[in-house]
Amino acid sequence: MDRGGVGRVCLALPAARLDHPFGDHHDAYRVGGKMFCMVGERGGISFKVSDIAYEVLTESGHARPAPYMARNRWVNLPQIDDWADEELAEHLFIAHGIVASKLTKKARAALGL
């Protein structure tokens, strides 16, 4: 998968939006104003994972703690294509769900979630 592929996967998720809070060279994908995935200009990707997935992925070396976001259980892949497309798409779907589930009931209702 490449940067465009990540965009297609993320924007196909309910109420997902693309934002560029750090300039055009970084793509931030949000749901309800909360970020669930970010792609950097050098081809890396960071995204939200569950507590268990964080432990498994970082301890196995399959991913590394995301810079500045590890305390919030985000992981980082130095290159988007480090994982198979289907595996990455599944993790992005889960990341979206984790973040969406933490929105208020009112916000979820307004977004149709």
pLDDT tens, position by position, 33-72: 999 999 988 889 999 999 999 999 999 999 999 988 989 9
Mean pLDDT of the chain: 93
Q: Is the pLDDT of residue 81 over 90?
A: no
Four-residue CA torsion sign, 74, 80, 82, 84: positive
**In the beta sheet, which residues pair with residue 47?**
37, 75
Q: Is the pLDDT of residue 112 over 90?
A: no
Looking at the whole model, is its pTM more than 0.85? yes
